[in-house]
Chain A
């Protein structure tokens, strides 16, 4: 409902009181419509609203932000102050036209740009990419145990690199079963190759959506948190005050929420902050994170690629396809020496391989000449292999 409608419903005494509070000039012959018009004029001006907000204390601002973003608040004792200022009507309603402007005024008050040390938050989605890669290359065997959990066996040299998979393995197997990509036979996990092929053809945003829609059913709170945060957060680098969220138990379910890799948390002087991770930014908001445009990939002359774990999953997927994971923590470290690849198996991939080289070039500051030479050489060989007549 718009402000004018709320004002229409006030009695004259209330309207006069509000006009006085907002310092509307009151003349002897002023009529109701005059006051309403003047109040609307004031409360729909950004600079005026900013002046009001500056004078509000912190808990009041938090309550107002909760009303603006969620239509409810966790502490009602500040409502009277906000009503007096003409920002809240009836029980706790903020007029729609004022709400829009308030969002703009409140955002700098509830958000902050924080430079903090980077943390490692592996996500089920990243683990899904890695698990599917392992399955596809037949580098993992999974057995079902009596207690319905699973046990996996991977090559000794891969064990360390993939140790982070453990945490999400059972969850992801459930998901893959749900997608008909895997099935159990005699307690051994088998791949449904045609379904896997179809899965591989999907883009990462779709895969992400499928996974998180499935996970949503398992944890409503995470979904609500992401939905709310994606409404508030305007910029990928902004951290939003956790107090703005009406659900008071968020800090206590932090670990559960973080586990899904959708929201990051940080704390500065007892004040908690949250923000969406780049992958959510991309898959839910549909915006390619500016961070993913950065030249964050490092390449060494030893054919090693160092890619941050929260970087573009499209590139991680390519690396997982054409490289061998050596380490997984803040960086995923891939060995991309093409001599480890089998040309015969990749003859249909020459374009994709070419794209892989281009992505690495774009997203890294420098590619050592040795690496560049060998990758391009391999790419050429793939093209000529693909063009060879089949005898």
Chain B
């Protein structure tokens, strides 16, 4: 019945019927000018948000390009009001600019009506205006920059941030053969991501966002940008392990001397041409924050940029730098504030979908199965008792997590020829399974050096199966064929996405990765897991639900 791939609603929602887009070209194309909302099996949803359209204009898209693309690909008539809005949002590009004027921060519009509209629409913003310099310019205190950008973004006024003018030269070059002795070449899409940032950054004041799935090499994009700009750089990463891995990659793949790279931990260190720190360090150490803010950075890289909108980390966007690059696998946040990254850093210059990388052979396919198991008699008795007498969700979750029947499912999922990692939130469960099935386990209680030994054993293929708790999420486990989740914290959806990312490397034995989640049916665990499942489904993972009896009847081959 449908004769074209899209249905476009007048509110800007675009529904893509996936049967028309087996090669994923359309979905990828839509990311150029629309926000990808979700890509679950069946129908993908995109949205023509005002900022996505503004960014498209910055990238060089014309109104007519977008409208004719939508017209050519949609079954339904494009509503006139939507066409008007597309035009309005795209025409807004270059209409507002933010720059330093003396000791003030100036917001200048191309027409006085825009300033009138801003003042009319936003009382909060009106209150922080220090002076109206002329019909088209408002002056603010420089310390109000983040607040101002946030408010403007909220009211759908997008300004080019031209306040960043600094930076010092850095001599850095890529090595053709890495220090670890491997031929190194960036992949095409990594080069393209860096190029999109480099070519477009000045169109919106020097900032921008690159979105790429886990395991697709965002760090290399960052390195390419540093290498091209050849300027001193501050890298803000999620945690110390990620900071170390940035340092290792820079050392391994560039000619920069080790003493030029600093992992910034205390407020007494002098920054080096490349300084790496963490969001937490900046948020908790005000001295470090002040000191690093006073440096003349040429580039700041916000790694795992979904962290940035957190109230405690938001201030890091205020550190001055000529250029700012935000790298993220996803901007999804439970508080829905992910889009603030655009307000604080700049437009999305590049996004590549997991399915595009899968199609190009850079990521492997991952099959997800949720295995529902009933509660064992003992667990059920305990669960019902707790449910009736305490209704303590945490206690209920623990009983559901430790359900004996899960082990019955687990034995069907561990195959000797598959490199399997089992993830458990509960330490005692991890230990118990490790002991029962003689599987090496890594928990927080184990000495870090022993942990690393076990990782090495796994990566050298001396062992094919490993069980770990939360501490293992940060470990660099390679060539995994199967991940089995057996117990869960209530809910980080993103954690599950990143966990799954470990299965997407292509240099493993099997092309398909397998992700199993064992869930106690009819319990709070099932309820919480649904949220995680929903999130993975919306990232485009294909899920199927099986029951323990399906495994027992041989209903799973992998």
> Chain A interface (Cβ within 8 Å of chain B)?
117-120, 160, 291, 294-296, 298-304, 306, 327, 329-331, 337, 339, 365-366, 368-370, 373-374
A339:B40 contact, CB within 8 angstroms: no
Known interface pairs A298-B43, A301-B40, A330-B9; A370-B543 also in contact (CB < 8 Å): yes
Instruction: Name which residue of chain B comes closest to A299, CB basis.
Output: B42
**Interface: B537 (CB within 8 A):** yes
A119:B40 contact, CB within 8 angstroms: no
Interface positions of B from 9 to 60, Cβ below 8 Å from A: 9-11, 13, 15, 17, 19, 38, 40-43
- Name 25 A/B residue pairs within 8 A (Cβ), A-sorted: A117-B75, A117-B77, A118-B76, A119-B77, A294-B1, A299-B43, A301-B543, A302-B38, A302-B40, A302-B534, A304-B43, A306-B7, A306-B15, A329-B10, A329-B11, A329-B13, A331-B9, A365-B19, A366-B42, A368-B41, A369-B543, A369-B544, A373-B544, A373-B545, A374-B545
In the complex, what residues of A have CB within 8 A of residue B13's CB?
Answer: 327, 329
Instruction: Name which residue of chain A comes closest to B530, CB basis.
Output: A339
19 further A-B pairs in the complex, CB-CB below 8 A; given A299-B43, A327-B11: A117-B75, A118-B75, A118-B77, A295-B1, A301-B537, A301-B542, A301-B543, A302-B40, A327-B13, A330-B7, A331-B9, A337-B530, A339-B527, A368-B40, A368-B41, A369-B543, A369-B545, A370-B545, A373-B545
**Interface: B116 (CB within 8 A):** no
User: Per-position contact with A for B533-558: 1 when CB-CB < 8 Å, else 0?
Assistant: 11001100011110000000000000
In the complex, what residues of A have CB within 8 A of residue B19's CB?
Answer: 365
In the complex, what residues of A have CB within 8 A of residue B9's CB?
Answer: 327, 329-331
Q: How far is the CB of B19 from chain A (nearest CB, A)?
A: 7
User: Per-position contact with A for B161-192: 1 when CB-CB < 8 Å, else 0?
Assistant: 00000000000000000000000000000000
Q: How far is the CB of B470 from chain A (nearest CB, A)?
A: 27
In the complex, what residues of A have CB within 8 A of residue B537's CB?
Answer: 301-302, 370
Q: How far is the CB of B443 from chain A (nearest CB, A)?
A: 32
Give the distance in Å from the alpha carbon of A380 to the alpha carbon of B9 in the complex: 36
Contact size range, B: 20 to 34
In the complex, what residues of A have CB within 8 A of residue B543's CB?
Answer: 301, 368-370
In the complex, what residues of B have CB within 8 A of residue A366's CB?
Answer: 42
Give the distance in Å from the alpha carbon of A330 to the alpha carbon of B76 in the complex: 8
Task: Output the residue of A302, A368, A369, A374 with the most chain B CB within 10 A.
Answer: A302
Known interface pairs A327-B9, A330-B76; A298-B538 also in contact (CB < 8 Å): no
Give the distance in Å from the alpha carbon of A295 to the alpha carbon of B19 in the complex: 14
Query: Which of the residues A119, A294, A306 comes within 8 Å of B43, measured between beta carbons?
Result: A306
**Interface: B79 (CB within 8 A):** yes
In the complex, what residues of B have CB within 8 A of residue A160's CB?
Answer: 11
Give the distance in Å from the alpha carbon of A341 to the alpha carbon of B8 in the complex: 29
Q: How far is the CB of A252 from chain B (nearest CB, A)?
A: 20
In the complex, what residues of B have CB within 8 A of residue A331's CB?
Answer: 7, 9, 15
Instruction: Name which residue of chain A comes closest to B370, CB basis.
Output: A370
In the complex, what residues of B have CB within 8 A of residue A329's CB?
Answer: 9-11, 13, 79
Give the distance in Å from the alpha carbon of A329 to the alpha carbon of B15 in the complex: 12
B43:A300 contact, CB within 8 angstroms: yes
In the complex, what residues of B have CB within 8 A of residue A306's CB?
Answer: 7, 15, 43
Instruction: Name which residue of chain B comes closest to A303, CB basis.
Output: B534
In the complex, what residues of A have CB within 8 A of residue B1's CB?
Answer: 291, 294-296
Q: How far is the CB of A164 from chain B (nearest CB, A)?
A: 10
Task: Output the residue of A337, A339, A374 with the most chain B CB within 10 A.
Answer: A339
Query: Which of the residues A301, A365, A374 comes within 8 Å of B41, measured between beta carbons?
Result: A301
User: Per-position contact with A for B70-84: 1 when CB-CB < 8 Å, else 0?
Assistant: 000011110100000
Give the distance in Å from the alpha carbon of A337 to the alpha carbon of B533 in the complex: 13
Known interface pairs A119-B77, A295-B1; A302-B538 also in contact (CB < 8 Å): yes
Give the distance in Å from the alpha carbon of A117 to the alpha carbon of B41 in the complex: 26
Interface positions of B from 439 to 456, Cβ below 8 Å from A: none
Give the distance in Å from the alpha carbon of A84 to the alpha carbon of B41 in the complex: 66
Q: How far is the CB of A310 from chain B (nearest CB, A)?
A: 11
Instruction: Name which residue of chain A comes closest to B535, CB basis.
Output: A302
B530:A368 contact, CB within 8 angstroms: no
Known interface pairs A118-B75, A118-B77; A370-B544 also in contact (CB < 8 Å): yes
- The 10 A-B pairs with the shortest beta carbon distances in the complex, nearest first, are A300-B42, A329-B9, A301-B41, A302-B40, A301-B40, A118-B76, A373-B545, A300-B43, A117-B77, A294-B1
Interface positions of B from 304 to 355, Cβ below 8 Å from A: none
Q: How far is the CB of B259 from chain A (nearest CB, A)?
A: 51
Interface positions of B from 510 to 537, Cβ below 8 Å from A: 527, 530, 533-534, 537
In the complex, what residues of B have CB within 8 A of residue A120's CB?
Answer: 10, 76-77, 79
In the complex, what residues of B have CB within 8 A of residue A302's CB?
Answer: 38, 40, 534, 537-538
Instruction: Name which residue of chain A comes closest to B527, CB basis.
Output: A339
Q: How far is the CB of A296 from chain B (nearest CB, A)?
A: 5
Q: How far is the CB of A165 from chain B (nearest CB, A)?
A: 15
A119:B76 contact, CB within 8 angstroms: yes
B40:A298 contact, CB within 8 angstroms: no
Instruction: Name which residue of chain A comes closest to B531, CB basis.
Output: A339
Instruction: Name which residue of chain A comes closest to B547, CB basis.
Output: A373
Give the distance in Å from the alpha carbon of A299 to the alpha carbon of B79 in the complex: 24
In the complex, what residues of B have CB within 8 A of residue A118's CB?
Answer: 75-77
Task: Output the residue of A117, A160, A339 with the most chain B CB within 10 A.
Answer: A117
Instruction: Name which residue of chain B comes closest to A116, CB basis.
Output: B77
Give the distance in Å from the alpha carbon of A369 to the alpha carbon of B41 in the complex: 10
Give the distance in Å from the alpha carbon of A279 to the alpha carbon of B2 in the complex: 20
In the complex, what residues of A have CB within 8 A of residue B538's CB?
Answer: 302
In the complex, what residues of B have CB within 8 A of residue A368's CB?
Answer: 40-42, 543
Instruction: Name which residue of chain B comes closest to A118, CB basis.
Output: B76
Instruction: Name which residue of chain A comes closest to B526, CB basis.
Output: A339
Give the distance in Å from the alpha carbon of A160 to the alpha carbon of B8 in the complex: 16
Instruction: Name which residue of chain B comes closest to A298, CB basis.
Output: B43
Instruction: Name which residue of chain B comes closest to A304, CB basis.
Output: B43
Give the distance in Å from the alpha carbon of A291 to the alpha carbon of B2 in the complex: 12
Q: How far is the CB of A128 from chain B (nearest CB, A)?
A: 22
Instruction: Name which residue of chain B comes closest to A302, CB basis.
Output: B40
User: Per-position contact with A for B488-507: 1 when CB-CB < 8 Å, else 0?
Assistant: 00000000000000000000
In the complex, what residues of B have CB within 8 A of residue A294's CB?
Answer: 1
Q: How far is the CB of A160 from chain B (nearest CB, A)?
A: 7
In the complex, what residues of B have CB within 8 A of residue A330's CB?
Answer: 7-9, 76
Give the distance in Å from the alpha carbon of A373 to the alpha carbon of B547 in the complex: 10
Q: How far is the CB of A180 from chain B (nearest CB, A)?
A: 36
Instruction: Name which residue of chain A comes closest to B77, CB basis.
Output: A117
In the complex, what residues of A have CB within 8 A of residue B17's CB?
Answer: 298
A117:B42 contact, CB within 8 angstroms: no
Instruction: Name which residue of chain A comes closest to B540, CB basis.
Output: A301
In the complex, what residues of B have CB within 8 A of residue A339's CB?
Answer: 527, 530
Give the distance in Å from the alpha carbon of A304 to the alpha carbon of B42 in the complex: 9
Give the distance in Å from the alpha carbon of A339 to the alpha carbon of B40 in the complex: 18
In the complex, what residues of B have CB within 8 A of residue A374's CB?
Answer: 545
Give the distance in Å from the alpha carbon of A295 to the alpha carbon of B17 in the complex: 13
In the complex, what residues of A have CB within 8 A of residue B7's CB?
Answer: 306, 330-331
Task: Output the residue of B8, B17, B40, B542 with the most chain A CB within 10 A.
Answer: B40
Give the distance in Å from the alpha carbon of A120 to the alpha carbon of B82 in the complex: 13
Instruction: Name which residue of chain A comes closest to B38, CB basis.
Output: A302
Q: How far is the CB of B438 from chain A (nearest CB, A)?
A: 34
Q: How far is the CB of A239 from chain B (nearest CB, A)?
A: 16
A300:B77 contact, CB within 8 angstroms: no
Give the distance in Å from the alpha carbon of A373 to the alpha carbon of B370 in the complex: 11
Instruction: Name which residue of chain B comes closest to A120, CB basis.
Output: B76
Instruction: Name which residue of chain B comes closest to A295, CB basis.
Output: B1
Give the distance in Å from the alpha carbon of A366 to the alpha carbon of B17 in the complex: 12
Interface positions of B from 84 to 103, Cβ below 8 Å from A: none
Q: How far is the CB of A328 from chain B (nearest CB, A)?
A: 9
A301:B42 contact, CB within 8 angstroms: yes
Q: How far is the CB of A384 from chain B (nearest CB, A)?
A: 12
